[in-house]
Amino acid sequence: MLKSVFLNKTKFNVDEDKKEFEGLRIEIDINRCRNTGRILLFLNFILILVDLLVYKPLRKNINAYTYLYYSHIIIVILISLWLAALRFIKNINHRIMQYIFINVIIYWCVFMGLNSINISGQISAYIIGVLGVSLFFYLSPMESIFIYLSSFIVFIVGLLFLVPDSKMLYSHIINSGFVVLCSFIGSDIIYSSFLKDFVNNKAILDSKAELEATNLKLREYEKLRTDFFANISHELRTPLNIIYSSQQMMELILKSDKFEKTRVDKYLKIMKQNSFRLIRLINNLIDITKIDATLFEIRPINCDIVKIVENITLSAADYIESKGIELVFDTEVEEKIIACDPDKIERIVLNLLSNAVKFTSKHGQIYVNIYLKNDRVYISVKDNGIGIDENMKELIFDRFIQVDKSISRNREGSGIGLALVKSLVELHDGNIEVRSTLGKGSEFIFDLPDKIIESSCEEDYFSNLCEQRVEKINIEFSDIYE
């Protein structure tokens, strides 16, 4: 029965739920055993006094009264020992204590019922005991069968020895058998009801937990949406304001009598850089939206991944070194042909280089390394900049997450770049991770599968690539200011 209940259509883990249910059942039964024991102690003390004051003269003629007196003393001693053990013995097994208590009570009632035959001819003590156990305690079907059946057999054997009248014997057997059957049915109903309540409560609690989790996700989504609009509004407004201000300054210069070409060039450069910054932000937004909608495609070709990474790194070297940062490229393999989208790989590397430049101070170093391991190509971009706080490592690839979110931050960025990098790497069946120590620098490592495809157009790609690199570098590095 227990197995059938726990294998119903619920989302519970069978072993954990069964263990929790059994633990709850035993604890409730132990508390009821404790309270029942205290009540029985009180009643038996009173009955001992009654025996001493009322039934003592009757002991000489009827031995049953003597047995009755001693049975009260014995049950007081047994219950007292049981309560003492439960209180003073640490880590005592409550399941065993429950079995002991219920069996002591049942067999005490068996004795009382058999003893009462010689006093009143009734077996009410046994009937009350069995019915009381069935109503007070949560017994599983197997426990009920064992307790009721074993006590019934002992009781019947006692009746056979004590009741010579066959009519009365059959009457007692039928009555006690009917009571045992009713007790078993009652125990089963109570146990099943308790089990059903437990399962329903678990379902309610799980539903409540799921609802709370859903509400939490909705709140997080709402916060993300709010942060998104706040962040994007800032990221769009800032370069637009700079472009607009530069345009106003150029108008003033052009209207003035003194035309200064250097000042015009200065503001043109500012406008161009912020235009690139807008292009980069909009491109990232469009691409990440396409990725979410599964509309973004990569176009893999067989090409030399070492050549791609080396060329884009060297193309960015002049810009990076102009910031006073040393750029070092190294590779453990001179050539490695794999299937990848060169344009997306360059975008990944440029984004990681841009990120490294942002957080590396003057006279710092940036290292780009390529190596092979376990049939995969690993590309590492490492710097000795400010590093990433430990609690930010898990969030760094989430969208709109920025290491420095303060209003006065000195490093611009929308928080989309690394999220896009991760998506682009995963579209190549790759993985990316970050290793960082605060104050010592960061290392971003992504890997690509070492595989090739049947058709390829590497030459056509490289013939058109060089002309685009300068513009790509300008766009990817547009949010790094002098």
Q: Give the total number of structural domains in the chain.
A: 3
Task: Based on the fold, state whether residues 178 and 325 are members of the same structural domain.
Answer: no
In a domain, 262, yes or no: yes
Asked which of 269, 292, 315 is the last residue of a domain, the reply is: 292
Within a domain: 183: yes
Claim to verify: residue 205 and residue 123 sit in the same structural domain: yes
Rounded distance between C-alpha atoms, residue 356 and residue 360, angstroms = 6
Whether residue 221 lies inside any domain: the answer is no
308 domain residue, yes or no = yes
Q: Given 292, 310, 345, which residue is the final one in a domain? A: 292
Query: CA nearest 136: which of 190, 65, 63?
Result: 190
For residue 131, give the 3-state DSSP assignment.
Answer: helix
138/27 same-domain check = yes
Q: Is residue 218 part of a domain?
A: no
User: Which of these three, 292, 319, 334, is where a domain ends?
Assistant: 292
Measured N-to-C along each axis, helices 166-255 and 124-136 cross at an angle, to the nearest 10 degrees, of 10
**Gap between the Cα atoms of 102 and 29, Å rounded:** 10
- How many CA atoms, within 13 angstroms, populate the side-chain half-sphere of residue 482? 6
Looking at the fold, whether 32 and 51 belong to one and the same domain comes out as yes
DSSP structure class, residue 398:
S
Q: Does residue 348 share a domain with residue 271?
A: no
What b/e readout covers 455-473, taking b as 16+ CB neighbours within 10 angstroms? eeeeeebeeebeeebeebb
Q: What pLDDT was estimated at residue 403?
A: 55
- Fill in the amino acid letter for 331: T
Backbone φ and ψ of 267, nearest 5°: -75, -30
What is the pLDDT at residue 41?
A: 92
User: Phi, psi (5° rounding) for residue 131?
Assistant: -65, -40
Together in a domain, 316 and 465: yes
In a domain, 219, yes or no: no
| Same domain flag for 149 and 242 | no
Helix, strand or coil, per DSSP, at residue 435: strand
Exposed e or buried b per residue across 180-198, where buried means at least 16 C-beta atoms within 10 angstroms of its C-beta: beebbebbbebbbeebeeb
Say if 223 falls within a structural domain.
Answer: no
CA atoms within 13 Å, Cβ hemisphere of 112: 21
Residue 169, both tokens: 């014997």
What DSSP element (H or E) covers 233? Answer: helix 166-255
Residues 6 or more apart in contact with residue 113 via CB below 8 angstroms: 123, 124, 125, 126, 127, 129, 155, 176
Tell me what pLDDT residue 1 has: 44
Domain identity same for 102 and 192: yes
Three-state SS letters, 244-281 = HHHHHHHHHHHHCCCCCHHHHHHHHHHHHHHHHHHHHH
- Say if residues 311 and 348 touch (Cβ distance below 8 Å): no
- Same structural domain, 358 and 313: yes
Question: Distance between CA atoms of 461 and 316, rounded to whole angstroms?
Answer: 19
Are both 336 and 466 inside the same structural domain? Answer: yes
* In a shared domain, residues 136 and 282: no
For residues 346 and 472, the answer to whether their CB atoms sit within 8 Å is yes
Q: Is residue 482 part of a domain?
A: no
Which residues form the domain of 40? 2-212
What is the CATH classification number for the domain harbouring 238?
1.10.287.130
Q: What is the pLDDT along the chain (482 residues), one digit of tens a residue?
A: 444 444 444 344 567 778 888 889 999 999 999 999 999 999 999 989 988 888 788 777 788 888 888 998 999 999 999 999 998 988 899 999 999 999 999 999 999 888 888 888 888 888 998 998 988 899 988 989 999 999 999 999 998 888 888 888 898 899 889 999 999 999 999 998 988 888 888 888 888 988 998 898 888 878 877 877 777 777 778 788 888 888 888 888 888 777 777 888 888 888 888 888 888 888 888 888 888 888 888 889 999 999 999 988 988 888 888 889 999 999 999 999 999 999 899 889 988 998 899 888 888 999 999 999 999 999 999 999 898 888 888 778 877 665 554 433 445 555 678 888 999 999 999 999 999 888 889 999 999 999 998 865 555 555 455 556 556 666 666 666 55
CATH number of the structural domain spanning residue 443: 3.30.565.10
| Strand-pair partners of 368 | 329, 381
Per-residue pLDDT, 410: 45
Question: pTM value?
Answer: 0.54
Q: Are residues 288 and 308 in the same domain?
A: no
Closest by Cα among 287, 286, 346, 354 to 469: 346
